[in-house]
Structures are given as C-alpha cells and as structure tokens.
C-alpha cells in the first residue's frame, strides 16, 4: 500500500480520526478479555502496525521452519486476502510451494479454518494476526519495516497505521525488518511505544534467483542480473524496497509496471505486460514469487518473455538467538499431538 501524498493526507485527517475512534471502541472488548477464543494448541501471531508489506510472509515461513526443525507439526493460518472465487490465494500458494509438510488454513474465521486441519497441528502461526484478536496468542510478534516505520504517521486513510502507536504495548516481541543494522533512533522510538527496544533486527536477503521461460526453470546467481534490462512488476505492499534490491544487483530498470497489493492478473494484462516489455527493450520481467504464482496461470501469453523471480529469506542481523529462545519456550510448553 502506498502512502497518500501530503495534500491528500491533510484532507483525509478527519477520516483518520473517525477510524481511530472505531478501532479504540473495538479494542475495549478485547482488552477486557471478551470475544477471545483459545485454540487447543499454542498460537504464534505475526503481524504489523501498518498497512502494506513488512515481511510477514518470510517471517512466518522462518518460524514454521524452526518449528519443523524441532520435530513439531506447524500450520499457518491466514485470511487469504483477495482470494479468488475458487479460494485461490497468492499467499497460500507461496506457502504451499515453499514449505513442505506445513498445513495451510485459509479463511477470515481462523478458528473455523484451523479446526478443519487433520491431523491437528501442534503449533499455529497466524499470518497478519496482530489485529485479529479473536484468537488468543501465546506469542505476539509485531514487525516494523525500517524503510517506512509509520510510527510518526496518522492512521488510515491519511497514513499507513492500522492502530494507535500505543498498541505496540500489547506485543510480546517487536522485530525490525528490512534493516541494515541497529538504528538507535528507531530503536528509541519503538521503545517509547512498546516499553522495550526491538528484540531483533533483520533484513530481506535474496538467497537465489529463478528465471522462468517457456515452462523451463533456470537457477541463476545474483551476479547474473548485472546489466539485465528489466521491467518490474511488484504487486506487494512495499515495492520500493524490492526495486532498490534490483538496482543493487546491477540491473537496469527500464519500466515499472504499476500493480496494487495482491493484484490479480488475467490473459489481457499479461499480454499488455509483454507488449510494454518489448516496446521499452526489456529482456525480462522481474517480479515476486507471490506475483509469479498468478502470472504463470497465463504463461502461454508471455510469448517467450523470461520472468525473473528472486527467492527471499529473512536474515537476522541481531537478536536471532534470543528470538529462538522465545520460540523454544512455546514449544516446550506445548503438548505433543499424535499425527
């Protein structure tokens, strides 16, 4: 989600005040413990304070992998934002392809969706769960994007925040993503609202790059992107951070194809993308895995145009061991469920 321009933000301030009043009214019941459902297994929530991408998907994946390494059975529960009429969700498709043996529960009612998983999971990871307070969580993790923290902005729709900054006080853990290291000013700002400095600092690391062309997948080294003329297509919440990574890899961006967060693609939009790439002299399109799972449904319309997909993982710069300890505490306290 893009920040509104300054003039629009000013005009939208009254709407933000109304939204804040509604959020605070809704919070009262949950703060008093009303309407909260406790699942039969521990729950780890990963969420954020702002609208748009902060790295929830790679963080949820990282947590699920650590749970698997401990010999336990995780599941990921997500709303399935902008899922199609058939139930297809780009986020769910990414999880299913990149996590082996992890159940995915999709639905706005996460209590109901998790209850359908057989055999029952031993740990549930809530994707985008900070505002989904109906489900009790044993560990509440909030991610803050170092490239746009949003703590000094108004609430939606004038800014990016979904809740007042004091909501950070109910988080168990705050982790900074897309950082290059500890930023003391940001740490102090977070501590002022959370009561403690961030537990960990992370970055988004490209572990590999895949190129898809005419149904053939090729593994590339990041250095092979040097000098490539690319069209970008990023239907995610924070495309600027990915664009910066593309340029850091030495590629030449010749065109940015606009796309909203969780954008849907059809045959016509894919054909237009190809025509644009040819017109600007691009030799490939670079996109996210989340976009690729939707583009490939219409791959016959790519007409030989290569699609490059970076594979992104969370890399801890500070605080990995202490965060692992918090996860281990949850695992030790959870019963083993026969599979």
Q: What would the pLDDT profile of 230-264 be if each residue is shown by its tens digit?
A: 999 999 988 999 999 999 999 999 999 999 988 99
Mean pLDDT calculated for residue range 261-280: 95
pLDDT value at residue 1: 63
Percent with pLDDT over 90 in the chain: 84
pLDDT tier for residue 89 given thresholds of 50, 70 and 90: confident
**How many Å from the N-terminal Cα to the C-terminal Cα in the chain?**
40
pLDDT per residue as tens digits for the range 31-65: 998 999 999 999 999 999 998 889 999 999 999 99
pLDDT value at residue 94: 94
Instruction: Write down all domains in the chain, each with its CATH number in brackets.
Output: 6-199+319-333 (3.40.50), 205-312 (3.40.50)
pLDDT value at residue 84: 61
Give the DSSP letter of residue 121: P
pLDDT value at residue 294: 94
Mean per-residue pLDDT of the chain: 93
pLDDT over 60 (residue 85): no
How far is the C-alpha of 198 from the C-alpha of 203, rounded, in Å? 14
Rounded (10°) CA dihedral 141, 74, 206, 310: -120
pLDDT over 90 (residue 22): yes
**How far is CA 242 from its chain centroid?**
13
How far is the C-alpha of 156 from the C-alpha of 38, rounded, in Å? 29
pLDDT tier for residue 316 given thresholds of 50, 70 and 90: very high
Vertex 65, ends 225 and 126: CA angle to 5°? 100
Give the DSSP letter of residue 145: E
pTM of the model: 0.93
Token pair recorded at residue 222: 């990041």
pLDDT value at residue 87: 61
- List, in sequence order, the alpha helices (H) in 249-299: 267-279, 289-295
More confident residue, 87 or 195: 195
pLDDT value at residue 82: 64
pLDDT per residue as tens digits for the range 107-163: 999 999 999 999 999 999 999 999 999 999 999 999 999 999 999 889 999 999 999
pLDDT over 90 (residue 298): yes
pLDDT value at residue 7: 81
Residues belonging to the chain: 339
Cβ of 266: how many Cβ atoms within 10 Å?
Answer: 12
How far is the C-alpha of 91 from the C-alpha of 88, rounded, in Å? 9
Query: 126 near 114, Cβ under 8 Å?
Result: no
């Amino acid at each position: 989600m893009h920040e509104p321009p300054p003039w629009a933000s000013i005009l939208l301030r009254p709407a933000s005040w109304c939204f804040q009043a509604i959020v605070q009214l809704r919070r009262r019941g949950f703060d008093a413990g009303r309407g909260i459902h406790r699942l039969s297994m521990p729950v780890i929530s990963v969420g954020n304070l702002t609208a748009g991408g902060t790295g929830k998907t790679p963080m949820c994946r990282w947590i699920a992998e650590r749970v698997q390494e401990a010999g336990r059975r995780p599941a990921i529960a997500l709303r399935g934002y902008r899922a199609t009429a058939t139930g297809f969700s780009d986020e769910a498709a990414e999880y299913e392809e990149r996590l082996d043996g992890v159940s995915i529960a999709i639905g706005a009612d996460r209590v109901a969706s998790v209850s359908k998983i057989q055999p029952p999971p031993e740990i549930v990871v809530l994707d985008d769960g900070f505002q989904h307070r109906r489900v009790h969580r044993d560990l509440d993790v909030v991610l803050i994007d170092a490239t746009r923290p949003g703590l000094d902005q108004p609430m939606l729709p004038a800014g990016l925040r979904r809740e007042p900054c004091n909501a950070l006080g109910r988080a168990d853990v705050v982790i900074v993503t897309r950082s290059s290291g500890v930023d003391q000013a940001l740490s102090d700002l977070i501590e002022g609202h959370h009561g403690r400095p961030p537990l960990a600092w992370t970055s988004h690391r490209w572990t590999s790059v895949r190129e898809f062309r005419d149904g053939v997948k090729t593994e590339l080294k990041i250095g092979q992107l040097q000098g490539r003329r690319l069209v970008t297509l990023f239907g995610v919440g924070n495309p600027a951070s990915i664009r910066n990574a593309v340029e850091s890899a030495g590629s030449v961006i010749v065109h940015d194809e606009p796309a909203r967060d969780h954008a849907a693609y059809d045959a016509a939009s894919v054909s237009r993308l190809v025509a644009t790439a040819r017109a600007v002299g691009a030799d490939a399109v670079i996109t996210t895995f989340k976009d690729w799972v939707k583009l490939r449904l219409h791959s016959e319309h790519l007409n030989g145009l290569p699609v490059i997909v970076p594979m992104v993982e969370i890399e801890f710069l500070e605080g990995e061991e202490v965060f692992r300890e918090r996860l281990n505490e949850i695992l030790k306290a959870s019963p083993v469920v026969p599979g």
